[in-house]
Structure 1
């Protein structure tokens, strides 16, 4: 269950919903339905009573009753008791095993992509030039000094922990090596944190949409996910009113957030919102976990303080995967020393430590973190501009949100056909991750994430393939009618 929605909160989400193009009840039902499909009203949310909503919207109760009846008929509102129905999806949609998690929508993670297929399912870059090569070369010269030891270290090689601590200190967050645990990537870090801090049936708050592999990790623990929708692209930022309300109403054990170039939207959380988020988490007794994996990919020069600078209770996760190379498999957790010891104890039930050579190389990269970034960021800015222009020219009905940083563009489609496009795409030479992969409950059929990690010529090939997939989708009369009459059923 995702709690309830007050009449005022729903009215704010509805905006200017009544345009007079159809009966008022139908317009109201249509807007609520789209808010559910977009994930802005979480599944399982109890809508306001007919009486209170009609008073807030200044419409007749008959209008609200008819709108709710229409939503029930379409399968977007449960019957429930009285008038407090809860949002849901039609049973004909997302019925297959794994729909909720997005399994199978973009292929299994880590599988090789067939030759000739442009892979847009992942937002990742090749290694950062000579920097990674040189770091490994230096690491091999340092390795002999460590060979007499056993090679097991659940906390990580001391030199790397010191380098990561220094990186935080340089960013204005005083940190000691005792506050760092080195992991095999950010996903490994999140799994350690989850195992140490939450149990089955505990609640974990997440942004909606969010990083799909984080959702997978949270689901694997048996936790209950509490999604809080992000505002539409026109509003930017985060909805801190909704977040504060969810924190106080649900009092989740943990909250997972991506404040630095959010995946998949690329937004940067302002410092004022970071401060509110930290205070709200503390007030609800919630452990706040900030994923900083994309923090170094700052394309527009926005300045913000690390989330941990607002509270020593924040748990930070970082990695070299996006800034340097995913093949490094080197990440970290920054937290209080007492929590680091808990994480280390949990880590030993999963593995006994990370590869030593990779950690020695990572220490060199962290100490000179900014060296390869200017050229990398310049190329990413060029790619971002190229992708946005290509989308504007070839897919003009798509609404692309310009990211502040990161590696991808979050696009709103003109109809809920994300999964259908993903199914068609490999035949046309591209591989995609469907919108529902980034949310809870099968929403985001109206959205698609497109990375700009490829050079402009390959991005053009990819966008032309997307246009061809869209044309093929729209050329099917039966599918076109399904999209028009019952969007959610289009992917059944």
Structure 2
């Protein structure tokens, strides 16, 4: 049994204004079940005592008791005399949500369906920007300066570390080059941090939903994952109590156009996030992969989380893959100088150093970052609006919040059919990733992630096929492994 728990007032706040239907115990059971399925109420969290929840809701204890009984009968609550009651999933849903490979979704052999032109909505990564060719040419011309040496720079080339440090300084976070470690992509950065900071069995707090490959890195290290729901945005009180109750060693968060929800945490929330880490004596790994992808690049933006850190707890992870190009396998870590040196030594047993040419290209692109941000904003705004318009026309029952940045819509289907819809879409030539792969323990079955990086015509066709998949989902065959995603 976990030591995590939710109080009566906390659960009442999560439930919000309950519908005034009768019988009320059925409404209460239904809404608690919904909190479990959409990830806002984690699994294996002890529920408040019946008396405490009744007082918080202003209802009779009998109403709460009957609601708990209904949830137990349906498999969403388990109880043991003397230990209380805690959230759970029915066994069938636990099995359905189990990953099919170490990537969560397995590769398949052959085509993706009967269509000649499959559409990949499993990939949230755009093509290279217009200035990419210029940056490559300049990097190749500069390469002879480096080829006379060994080519191994475990911390990264000085020119790139300086460019990254300058970017942080421009955003209000004074940074020295010796605080930067260049990695082979953000995924490598997350894995390196997990390997360096965690011991087997340590608790790691994660958002739900979140980036699935980060979850896999933490799992491979043997971390105990502690999810906190962000489907409707960050609940900082639950995040703080979750970090403290689990004695988390670190928390992995995506506050900038969160993948996959697109949420953006405001400055006040960032202050609270750093304070939560300080109170729990935990590291805060902040994934900034999407931070430069505002759809209005001139709009005011929150300061980086590291700007509010005075104790060296915030570790920032960045990447060239989303802003510049996925094939440019360059990422970075910003940390204290002592931790940066420790990470540099640790990475030598992983990959020694990142490719020199890729680093030179990334440095040249950093010098053009504002032009690339503007180009991305124009493209992504158009494609986001195309996807939103098509969904509202053809699938009006699907719900989503239109993001101000990032590359994805997090769509709520209204029923736990995401895996069936994904399978039916696969048969129609559309790759799409169902919600459970972005969480822990098989919840989020009522959600899909839909990237909008493709051309508008492809997005419209994809939604047409998704509409057919949604209609035919109940007749879909037994789910089989789906293709890989990023």
Q: What does 1:50-449 align with in structure 2 at a 5 Å threshold?
A: 50-82=50-82, 84-95=84-95, 99=98, 106-108=105-107, 116-129=117-130, 131-230=131-230, 232=232, 237-300=233-296, 301-312=299-310, 313=312, 314-449=314-449
Task: Provide the rounded CA distance (Å) in 1 between the counterparts of 2:100 and 2:180.
Answer: 31
Q: Which moved more, 1:447-456 or 1:366-375?
A: 366-375
* Offset, 1:106: 4.4
What's 2:7 paired with?
6
Asked whether the equivalents of residues 323 and 373 of structure 1 are also in contact (C-alpha less than 8 Å), the reply is yes
Residues 156, 113 of structure 1: alpha-carbon distance in 2 compared, 3 angstrom cutoff: farther
Please give the per-residue CA displacement for 1:27-76, whole angstroms capped at 9, x wherever unaligned. 11111111100001100011111122222222222221111111111111
Task: Provide the rounded CA distance (Å) in 2 between the counterparts of 1:231 and 1:379.
Answer: 26
SS in 2 for 1:242: helix
SS in 1 for 2:400: strand
* Offset, 1:302: 4.1
What is the count of residue pairs matched by the alignment? 471
Residues 445, 225 of structure 1: alpha-carbon distance in 2 compared, 3 angstrom cutoff: same
What's 1:17 paired with?
18
Task: Provide the rounded CA distance (Å) in 1 between the counterparts of 2:201 and 2:461.
Answer: 45
What's 1:487 paired with?
none
* Offset, 1:107: 3.7
* Offset, 1:247: 2.2
* Offset, 1:108: 3.7
SS in 2 for 1:401: coil
SS in 2 for 1:345: helix
Task: Provide the rounded CA distance (Å) in 1 between the counterparts of 2:123 and 2:365.
Answer: 23
SS in 2 for 1:365: helix
* Offset, 1:105: 6.4
Task: Provide the rounded CA distance (Å) in 1 between the counterparts of 2:356 and 2:66.
Answer: 65
Task: Provide the rounded CA distance (Å) in 1 between the counterparts of 2:251 and 2:144.
Answer: 42
Asked whether the equivalents of residues 410 and 450 of structure 2 are also in contact (C-alpha less than 8 Å), the reply is yes
Task: Provide the rounded CA distance (Å) in 1 between the counterparts of 2:382 and 2:110.
Answer: 29
Runs of 4+ off more than 4 Å: 100-106, 109-115
SS in 2 for 1:466: helix
Please give the per-residue CA displacement for 1:398-433, whole angstroms capped at 9, x wherever unaligned. 111111210001111121101111111111110111
* Offset, 1:84: 1.7
SS in 1 for 2:11: helix
Asked whether the equivalents of residues 417 and 445 of structure 2 are also in contact (C-alpha less than 8 Å), the reply is yes
* Offset, 1:104: 7.5
Q: Which moved more, 1:331-340 or 1:294-303?
A: 294-303
What's 1:489 paired with?
none
Scaled by the length of structure 1, the TM-score of the pair is 0.91
Asked whether the equivalents of residues 99 and 105 of structure 2 are also in contact (C-alpha less than 8 Å), the reply is no
Task: Provide the rounded CA distance (Å) in 2 between the counterparts of 1:472 and 1:58.
Answer: 43
Asked whether the equivalents of residues 2 and 43 of structure 1 are also in contact (C-alpha less than 8 Å), the reply is no
Residues 452, 231 of structure 1: alpha-carbon distance in 2 compared, 3 angstrom cutoff: closer
What's 2:482 paired with?
none
Residues 63, 224 of structure 1: alpha-carbon distance in 2 compared, 3 angstrom cutoff: same
Please give the per-residue CA displacement for 1:128-183, whole angstroms capped at 9, x wherever unaligned. 12x22211111111111211211111111111111111111111111111011100
RMSD (Å) for aligned C-alpha atoms: 2.1
* Offset, 1:378: 0.6
Task: Provide the rounded CA distance (Å) in 2 between the counterparts of 1:143 and 1:108.
Answer: 36
Residues 424, 231 of structure 1: alpha-carbon distance in 2 compared, 3 angstrom cutoff: closer
Task: Provide the rounded CA distance (Å) in 2 between the counterparts of 1:64 and 1:376.
Answer: 51
Residues 104, 269 of structure 1: alpha-carbon distance in 2 compared, 3 angstrom cutoff: closer
SS in 1 for 2:31: helix
Stretches of structure 2 lacking an aligned partner (at least 5 in a row):
479-486
SS in 2 for 1:153: coil
Task: Provide the rounded CA distance (Å) in 1 between the counterparts of 2:394 and 2:291.
Answer: 31
Residues 2, 385 of structure 1: alpha-carbon distance in 2 compared, 3 angstrom cutoff: farther
SS in 2 for 1:85: strand
Task: Provide the rounded CA distance (Å) in 2 between the counterparts of 1:168 and 1:58.
Answer: 49
